[in-house]
Each structure stands twice: as C-alpha cells, then as structure tokens.
Copies of this chain bind each other. A is one copy, B any other.
C-alpha cells in the first residue's frame, strides 16, 4: 500500500508511524509531509529514513491511504480534494465529523459504516476511548443515561502542550515563575475544568463532541450523554469516570465477562490487588483499560459505574486511524 502522512512532525504523525509498524500494516511506499518549515529534513521512520516533503495537492497523488494528522484548517482545505483523487483519507481533525456523508469510525463499534467512503473521520480522543467500553455495555443492557467526568492529559494540546507541562513543572519545583502559553492557565499541579470553547448551553465544545460523536458512532441519535471535560497535569493518557443508567437491570458478572472479552479493552479491575486503570499503566498501550466496575448506588439495579483510561495519542488518535485503514483493507 502507498501511504502518505500529513503532519509527520507532530506527536500524532509520529505515533501513526509506530502504529503502522506495530500493526504490520502493509506499507509499500511511505511519504511524509509537513509544513515548509520542516520540508527537506531527514527523519527516521520504522520503514527507513525519509526526507520530509512540503505538502501540495500535486505532490500528494496516487496514494492508497492519506492520514491527516494536522489541524482542522488544513483538513477543511484539502480533505475532500484528496478524497477526490481516489485515496482513502483518514482525518484526525474534528472538521468532517458532523458531516452526513463522512463516516465517523471506531472500528470495534461501527467498521461497517465505512462502506465505500473515501473520506473517513477519526473521533475525538475522549469519544474513542469511551466508545470501546461503552458500546459493549450498550449492546447488552441498553443505555438510558450516560454521565461522564474526564481527566484529560496535556497531549490533547499536542507536543507543545506536553512540553509546557514538563518545563513549567520544573519551574514550579525550582520556585520560579510558572508561565502558560498553550494553556489558558498554568497547568503544573493544577487542573483546568475547560477544554475548547464554550457553547451557549454552558458546555464546552469538547464536552459536546463526546455526545455528538458517540450518537453518530453508535447510531443512536437521541442518546442522553453529558460530559464534564477537565484537563489535569498528566502527559498522554485520558481517564473518564462514567456513570450509566441502563435499560435492563445490570448483572455485574455479565458486565465483567463482556468487558473481559471486548476488542480493544483491557479488563483492569482487581481492586483488592490495587489494580485499576491509570495513566501510569496505560500510556503507550493500545488497549483501553476499564476498572472500578460496580453497581451505581443512585440508579440501583439499573446503574453502573466504571473508570476508563486510554492513551490519548493511540486509541484517542493514531491507533484508531490505522485500525480504520486496516478495516478498509480487510473489508475490500
């Protein structure tokens, strides 16, 4: 397969390379695009050295797959044009996620929705990490309500945001002034209960994305789901504290059995041995961890609590895009 990656110098571009390698993706040709600033530089990839190319529509031709690991502006300008050139374009940005003709895919949930679409959207990181755990519960018990509070890592803001956490934590510990540039407030030893812009309903766009996108991925347009999205000082793994009200009574044994065998999920629920999902154990891993599984006391027999943690750069971004590409190959 002929592969192009746009945005190779970013963290998601880099993780996409790793996922292509680790998932034995049949890479025959690999071209790495980035902005003019990086063009011409040589980089190491798991597929050998490459010279970074400056992107243009003319030079990005005849690929089987184009991975867009760039901002929404770039995707808006080039996403559909690249798809018209017959490549399968998998876009990490939020730009196309709401568009009706663009499938939004978490392969464990709705690979069949890809069909023959050329342009495919990759969900928001928080959505994808939640979906692999929530979907098996939805299938077995139904969902009346989903209430979610997140613990999101700095990687959601890219490498510069991760660097800001590291550098400013050093400053904090050295008693120096703590600055903030990528974040609206200093992030070391703090939390920020606001990610992305605020909507009229008082939710942030990040919070609404989880509802909008989960509804589309599950094919349940009226799913009641609310999120409170909070940035915390971790590097690359998002966690989510989830309470659901189900349609059918919850059987905890069945929940454990289902989540132990769900694709993309690592059952991480052994509290007596201090085993539960954590950024420490999930960072760098493909599977999303789920634990703290218990009946929710507020909803009684119809209530379930669980805690998920997944690598924001992997299942929340690069891994899911490569899994989409693999699903396309397998289905064709």
Contacts and interface: CB of A to CB of B under 8 A. Distances in A.
Interface string A220-241: 0000111010101111000101
A150 to B, nearest CB: 9
A189 interface: yes
A248 interface: no
Interface residues of A, number: 56
Contacts of A239: 191, 193, 230
Given A190-B278, A193-B241, A294 B151 contact: no
Given A184-B274, A201-B295, A230-B241, A307 B190 contact: no
Contacts of A201: 294-295, 297
A230 B224 CA distance: 25
Interface stretch (A13-21, A30-38, A165-173, A316-324): A165-173
A189 B147 CA distance: 25
Contact of A224 (B149, B297, B307): B297
Contact of A276 (B189, B193, B297): B193
Interface of A is mostly: mixed
Given A170-B173, A173-B170, A203 B294 contact: yes
A243 interface: yes
A145 interface: yes
A228 B307 contact: yes
Nearest to A305: B228
B278 A193 contact: yes
